[in-house]
Amino acid sequence: TWLTLPVALLETMFGVKVIITGDAFVPGERSVIIMNHRTRMDWLFLWNCLMRYSYLRLEKICLKASLKSVPGFG
């Protein structure tokens, strides 16, 4: 999918090494990932994590209620 391009660029072109820590994902089980968005790059790291565990096409994203009124998000 198109989401693999930014992940591939991070790793191959820019040499970024992503280290994933925490509880392991269990294949076939649902998981909740909470992001605090310290940078605008957080989505790239999330996609990297999801790609590693083959969840890239299965994710569902919930946004803050305050974003309901923003065009494109709400």
Kindly give the confidence (pLDDT) of every residue in the chain, 74 residues in length, as a single tens digit, with 9 standing for 90 and above: 666 777 778 888 888 887 777 888 777 778 777 777 677 777 777 777 777 777 777 777 777 777 777 776 55
Instruction: Say what the pLDDT of residue 19 is.
Output: 78
**Which residue range(s) make up the domain with 33?**
4-69
Instruction: Say what the pLDDT of residue 72 is.
Output: 66
Residue 74 lies in a domain: no
Residue 29 lies in a domain: yes
Q: How far is CA 20 from CA 24, 39, 49, 72, 74, in A?
A: 9, 17, 7, 30, 30
User: How many structural domains does the chain have?
Assistant: 1
Instruction: Say what the pLDDT of residue 29 is.
Output: 79
Contact, 23 vs 32, CB < 8 A? Answer: no
Residue 35 lies in a domain: yes
Please give the model's pTM, rounded to 2 decimal places.
0.55
Residue 50 lies in a domain: yes
Instruction: Say what the pLDDT of residue 1 is.
Output: 61
